[in-house]
């Protein structure tokens, strides 16, 4: 089972130009910002000063380890995130069944991370530090021979509504971080060639193709089981009645 550990939250990135100086240390600046420039008549006439709308803090992306209570929501998230991808690829790009996904949670050595914006799941990543299971597509000797110590990325998905906002990049940064902490040398994953968006995205981030299976197909010349259409014959002329 994946041991639920204390959530680790990533502190929000400081906005550019944000000063660490205490405002008390720069009273001159503070004074200069007072709305002295307002027409004096505004107060005198009893008119309310236009209030500045309080600037809203941009929400943070918080990363946490999955909890049992998250499983249903994450499964729904995965179905949605891989919906379009699975239409285009031969191989399923996510766990095939909900049951399999729930079993994964119980497995030792699987790290399942959720990326949240407020209470919404915006991304999911699943990694293992070794090849798990008997029936696997990976040959550990391939990596050993090359002095590669991989972090295996089993799943990586961003909510489609949050695409193109740097969340996927943040997920990769987190996985890179985990690999570094454990002395691993590579992130290794499988992506379908038809999943062109993800493939281009990985390539741009320095992922290079290893030896991998390519799904091939050749059409067999089989006649159709159903016969082709044929012209409908005209109705028969009614037989002439015998005069006898």
| Nearest one of 75, 115, 110 to 95, comparing CA atoms | 75
The residues facing 158 across adjacent strands are 123
Instruction: Provide, rounded to whole angstroms, the least separation between the CB of residue 92 and ligand COA.
Output: 11
**By C-beta, is 211 or 241 nearer to ligand COA?**
211
155 within 8 A of 187, measured Cβ to Cβ = no
> Which member of 169, 173, 196, 203 binds ligand COA (CB under 6 A)?
169
Kindly indicate which of the ranges 20-28, 41-49, 141-149, 187-195 contains the residues binding ligand COA, using the contact rule CB under 6 A.
187-195
194 within 8 A of 158, measured Cβ to Cβ = no
| Nearest one of 77, 173, 152, 79 to 117, comparing CA atoms | 77
**By C-beta, is 164 or 238 nearer to ligand COA?**
164
**By C-beta, is 187 or 191 nearer to ligand COA?**
191
Kindly indicate which of the ranges 28-36, 132-140, 153-161, 222-230 contains the residues binding ligand COA, using the contact rule CB under 6 A.
153-161
| 3-class SS of residue 153 | strand
CA distances for 23 relative to 26, 34, 103, angstroms: 5, 13, 53
82 touches ligand COA by CB under 6 A? yes
> Which member of 63, 70, 78, 93 binds ligand COA (CB under 6 A)?
93
191 touches ligand COA by CB under 6 A? yes
Token pair recorded at residue 18: 């944000």
| 3-class SS of residue 60 | coil
| 3-class SS of residue 33 | helix
Kindly indicate which of the ranges 162-170, 173-181, 209-217, 222-230 contains the residues binding ligand COA, using the contact rule CB under 6 A.
162-170
Instruction: Provide, rounded to whole angstroms, the least separation between the CB of residue 208 and ligand COA.
Output: 15
Q: Rounded to the nearest 10 degrees, what angle do helices 71-81 and 98-106 cross at?
A: 130
Which chain residues interact with ligand COA by CB under 6 A?
A: 81-82, 85, 93, 156-158, 163-169, 189, 191, 195, 197-198, 201, 204
């Amino acid at each position: 089972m994946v041991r639920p550990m204390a959530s680790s939250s990533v502190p929000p990135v400081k906005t550019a130009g944000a000063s660490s100086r205490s405002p008390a240390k720069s009273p001159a600046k503070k004074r200069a910002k007072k709305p002295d420039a307002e027409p004096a008549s505004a107060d005198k006439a009893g008119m309310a000063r236009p209030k500045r709308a309080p600037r809203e803090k941009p929400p943070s992306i918080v990363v946490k380890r999955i909890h049992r209570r998250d499983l249903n929501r994450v499964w729904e998230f995965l179905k949605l995130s891989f919906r379009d991808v699975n239409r285009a690829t031969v191989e399923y790009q996510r766990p095939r069944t909900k049951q399999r996904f729930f079993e994964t949670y119980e497995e030792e050595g699987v790290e399942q991370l959720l990326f949240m914006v407020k209470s919404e799941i915006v991304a999911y990543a699943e990694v293992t530090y070794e090849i798990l299971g008997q029936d696997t597509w990976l040959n550990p000797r391939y990596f050993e021979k090359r002095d590669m110590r991989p972090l295996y990325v089993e799943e990586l998905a961003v909510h489609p509504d949050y695409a193109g906002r740097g969340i996927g990049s943040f997920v990769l940064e987190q996985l890179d971080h985990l690999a570094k902490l454990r002395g691993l040398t590579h992130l290794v994953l499988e992506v379908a060639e038809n999943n062109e968006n993800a493939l281009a995205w990985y390539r741009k981030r320095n992922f290079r193709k290893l030896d991998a299976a390519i799904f091939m197909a050749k059409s067999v010349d089989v006649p159709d089981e159903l016969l082709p259409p044929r012209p409908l014959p005209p109705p028969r002329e009614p037989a002439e009645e015998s005069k006898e």
